[in-house]
Amino acid sequence: MKLLLVDDEELQLTRLKEAVKNVIKDAEIFCYTNPVKALEENKNQTIDIAFLDIEMPKINGISLAKSLKAINPQINIIFVTAYDDFALEAMKLHASGYITKPVNEQRIRAEIEGLRYPIDLKSTNKIKVKCFGNFEVFSNDKPLAFAYQKSKELFAYLVDREGSSININELNAVLWEEDHKSYLRNLISDIKKTLAKENASDVFIKKHNGYSIDVNKIDCDAYEYKKNNPQAIRMYRGEYMNQYSWAIFKSL
């Protein structure tokens, strides 16, 4: 997560940085007392959240926010100011938040939990799975290229079963209405090869005649939702693996 902090008063900027660091532990933080320099040096950065003072020389916080949003429309803007005078103008910009000084960790945490544009969950595993909306599987932020669409659906079903071992008969019944067990073996081979190319073979597990995934080896938005992760809860819009008929009526 990348954060931009801009305040023309050095002491206020230092206090803001310390408070933010205590709330968001592993963020990459860029601090500036000069708003012009902040804009110039971050034109090519994907900033997730910008904490901006409003009353600053040369470029005030409102103007800086407009410029940052022109670069990245989904940047989260949180204004930090000593006055309430600019609240209405800030809301017109669809800002994520508005904090009056003095800043404290409680106020920052409240704004982070209510971001207008939720930030993707931090990935700790190589394989990342998105179940909300259409199902997708990523490695290093790039979609996995399965040889068959049915391979992807088979993988999706195993994700849905959350580590439970599923036998050939059940998989066949879910994917087709008739017997395709010989083709199913091609799908299993495809999944193995695709994961092996990403050095993630240990994600897929075969035991006797059953198949499963190691839930500890993937990052999954649906799993995080069930753990009450606030970011996952905000990301869920009631849509789950939309492209698969067997998942349409499933609720988390």
Average pLDDT (221-249) is: 89
How confident is the model at residue 211, as a pLDDT? 97
Out of 74-78, 89-93, 239-243, pick the least confident.
89-93
Residue 38 has pLDDT above 70, yes or no: yes
Confidence of residue 23 (pLDDT cuts 50, 70, 90): confident
Residue 163 has pLDDT above 80, yes or no: yes
Residue 85 has pLDDT above 80, yes or no: no
Q: How far apart are alpha carbons 38 and 199 in whole angstroms?
A: 39
The predicted-structure confidence for 104-135, as pLDDT tens digits, reads as follows 988 898 888 778 777 765 666 789 999 999 99
Average pLDDT (226-251) is: 88
Q: How far apart are alpha carbons 174 and 155 in whole angstroms?
A: 12
Q: How far apart are alpha carbons 67 and 35 in whole angstroms?
A: 11
pTM of the entire structure? 0.57
Domains and CATH numbers, the chain: 2-113 (3.40.50.2300), 127-247 (1.10.10.10)
How confident is the model at residue 12, as a pLDDT? 94
How confident is the model at residue 90, as a pLDDT? 59
The answer to whether 92 and 110 have CB atoms below 8 angstroms apart is no
Q: How far apart are alpha carbons 65 and 95 in whole angstroms?
A: 9
Residue 198 has pLDDT above 80, yes or no: yes
